[in-house]
Structure 1
Amino acid sequence: MKIGIIGAGQIGASLVRQYAKAGHDVKMTNASGVEKLRALESETGAKAVTSGEVVKEIHVLVISIPFIEISKLAKSLGQDISDDTVIIDTTNYYPIRDGRIDEIEHGMVESVWVSNHLSRPVIKVYNSILAGSLVQAGLPGGSPSRIALPVSGDDEQAKRIVARLVNDSGFDALDIGSIQDSWRQQPGSPVYCTDLNSAQLKRNIQLVQKDVLPERRELALQFILKQDPVQYLAWSRECVTNNRIVFKTDINE
């Protein structure tokens, strides 16, 4: 499969490695310039290209950037993405980094907001797993303790394609419904960054309460950043880049 990846942070770079290892034809880009991707290019065989090139002649486009950058990305991409391209949205909204977005604060589902800005349907996946787990915890298909990832979207064929890629990256895929249902895998949900197998994920999906997600999102973030120092450092760089103030967290606590 031909795959383009926008964003080569912890999640994006991990997917570059996993997809390339699985035999896919991968190209990638990032906001800081392709020269910073040369080491990853040499390591994986994936091609470092410009943002204009990354969307051309691909089957799947993975968007793995800070949520606040979606609007800027939508403007830069314009109409360059083919109607046949499946778009994977890995993003999460955190007001402390992204600033307050009134539509989401008033109840709009995060990936619906992303889809609206891109003017394209998206499939939500990979947003609910720690970067460290994505790097280290993948297992062969059929492993009883294999982590399962929720997948949401409106196009059944697109979800089947995405499920194949999730499998290729070392995880099971669980279809949890439409893009309107993707709030169930947003930060603060009991399936968010919990490394559950398929049976556990199915159980926890039923426990999600939408009205408590905003409060639990902040608690989840505090926990995640304490558990994963690498992700904490990446998060801090994103906050500085986007002129946000990251709260004080003792990651050695």
Structure 2
Amino acid sequence: MGTARPGVVPAMTTIGIIGAGLIGSQVARAAIGVGYDIVISNSRGPETLADLVAELGPKARAATASEAAAAGDFVVVTVPLKNYEQVPVEPLAGKIVIDTNNYYFERDGHIPALDAGVDTVSGMLQRHLPTSKVAKGFNHIMASDITTDGYPAGSPQRRALATSSDFEEAAELVQRLYDELGFDTVNVGPLADSWRVERDQPAYVVRQNRAELVENLTKAVRASATPA
């Protein structure tokens, strides 16, 4: 599966969120619930997030994408794949970036390298952010479950989520965040293997514990789609 690059995860207290849709707003709610500060952005401007920020409370503020990227100790990118090249590069230099995205050709248009199974969604973002450390996260859970389906460690109901990264410290940060939110973690390995937990694979958007997630990852088959 490959070897990640070693590193140490420092203490982090502020999360920048680029994208305030279903996943972004739910990650914000869940993270504030365990003590993080949030700086959140969308494509329409901070003023359009007034209602969400009012709901989230004093630990949240709205910003532009570049401001959210600069403010976050680490950053969650949760924009449609077709817009990933709009994610600011310089403010994310040296930072861990959690990529929640999936490829939906109905929304994003056909991307030949993904249709052919020779690239990955998060690999594309990593190349766009060459000085950042990208890790996949929150991509195979329904948004509503992020705030409602967490359980304490050791609970028989504890659900497992996957991460994937070329950087050990990035995968470790996702694991820590998952644990804080009430989920176990399975590390899929490098981004080249992150397709195993994406759309149409056995591990995608199903409730599973750690053992079941590991089993579902082994069942993944990389099929080539036929462009319309």
1:118 aligns with 2:132: no
One-letter amino acid matched to 1:102: P
One-letter amino acid matched to 2:206: T
Alignment gaps of 5+ in structure 1: 216-253
Q: Which structure 2 residues correspond to residues 147-162 of structure 1 after superposition, within 5 A?
A: 147-162=159-174
Q: Answer 1 or 2: which has greater helix percent.
A: 1
Aligned residue for 2:90, secondary structure, equals coil
CA distance in 1, matches of 2:18, 2:51: 16
Q: Which structure 2 residues correspond to residues 77-92 of structure 1 after superposition, within 5 A?
A: 77-83=88-94, 85-92=95-102
Match of 2:36 among 17, 24, 31: 24
Cα deviation code 1:123-159 (max 9, x no counterpart): 0111111123223222222221211111100111121
CA distance in 1, matches of 2:96, 2:89: 16
CA distance in 2, matches of 1:210, 1:35: 42
Aligned residue for 1:177, secondary structure, equals coil
Distance 1:39 1:140, change over 3 A: farther
8 Å CA contact 1:27, 1:49 repeated in 2: yes
Measured on the aligned residues, the alpha-carbon RMSD in Å equals: 1.6
Instruction: State the partner residue of 1:5.
Output: 17
Q: Which moved more, 1:7-16 or 1:49-58?
A: 49-58
8 Å CA contact 1:55, 1:81 repeated in 2: yes
Instruction: State the partner residue of 2:3.
Output: none
Cα deviation code 1:12-62 (max 9, x no counterpart): 000001111111121111112212222221222311112221111422110
Instruction: State the partner residue of 2:4.
Output: none
- Quote the offset at 1:8 in angstroms: 1.0
1:68 aligns with 2:79: no
CA distance in 1, matches of 2:71, 2:39: 11
Match of 1:178 among 190, 202, 216: 190
CA distance in 1, matches of 2:92, 2:128: 13
Match of 2:210 among 168, 174, 198: 198
Cα deviation code 1:182-229 (max 9, x no counterpart): 0111101100001111111111111111126x48xxxxxxxxxxxxxx
One-letter amino acid matched to 2:135: I
One-letter amino acid matched to 2:148: Q
Q: TM-score, normalised by structure 1?
A: 0.78
Quote the sequence identity (%): 34
8 Å CA contact 1:93, 1:110 repeated in 2: yes
CA distance in 2, matches of 1:164, 1:144: 19
Task: Report the count of equivalent residues.
Answer: 210
Instruction: State the partner residue of 2:180.
Output: 168
Q: Which moved more, 1:158-167 or 1:87-96?
A: 158-167
1:53 aligns with 2:67: yes
CA distance in 1, matches of 2:73, 2:108: 29
8 Å CA contact 2:39, 2:71 repeated in 1: no
Aligned residue for 1:132, secondary structure, equals helix
Q: TM-score, normalised by structure 2?
A: 0.86
Aligned residue for 1:23, secondary structure, equals coil
Q: Which moved more, 1:203-212 or 1:93-102?
A: 203-212
More contact order relative to length (CA 8 Å, sep ≥ 6): 2
1:109 aligns with 2:123: no
CA distance in 1, matches of 2:37, 2:210: 28
Instruction: State the partner residue of 1:139.
Output: 151
- Quote the offset at 1:162 in angstroms: 1.3
Instruction: State the partner residue of 2:220.
Output: 208
